Amino acid sequence: NAGVTQTPKFQVLKTGQSMTLQCAQDMNHEYMSWYRQDPGMGLRLIHYSVGAGITDQGEVPNGYNVSRSTTEDFPLRLLSAAPSQTSVYFCASSYSKGYGYTFGSGTRLTVV
């Protein structure tokens, strides 16, 4: 009963470094998404996937890449970290449209 697991929980990066935020779900959900949460801005969609091998951009995709090789995993890659990417990142999954998302506990990323 793990639900949605995100790793790491905290990360500090230097400007220009790259890294991958991991997200895994064990509920056999087709939909998976990445959001970032910034104060006063709510949650903004970065990328999403409607199934293995299918991904698409959300509202704020620049600087991020995703892939979905399996139903379970949906990693988010930061190509060259910038201070503007300092945020809390949430992964979410859903069984299908019409159902609410299950969220992971988040990754707090600081880029210095």
Q: Is 105 in the site for other proteins (CB under 8 A)?
A: yes
Rule CB under 8 A: is residue 94 a binding residue for other proteins? Answer: yes
**Scanning residues 55 to 84, which ones bind other proteins (CB under 8 A)?**
56, 58
H runs (alpha helix) in the chain: none
DSSP 99: S
- Is 103 a binding residue for other proteins by CB under 8 A? The answer is yes
Q: How far is the CB of 99 from other proteins (least distance, A)?
A: 8
Strand (E) positions, the chain? 4-7, 10-13, 19-25, 31-38, 42-51, 54-57, 64-66, 76-78, 87-94, 102-103, 107-111
Does 43 bind other proteins (CB under 8 A)? Our answer is yes
Q: Least distance in Å: CB of 43 to other proteins?
A: 4
Among 19, 45, 52, 82, binds other proteins (CB under 8 A): 45
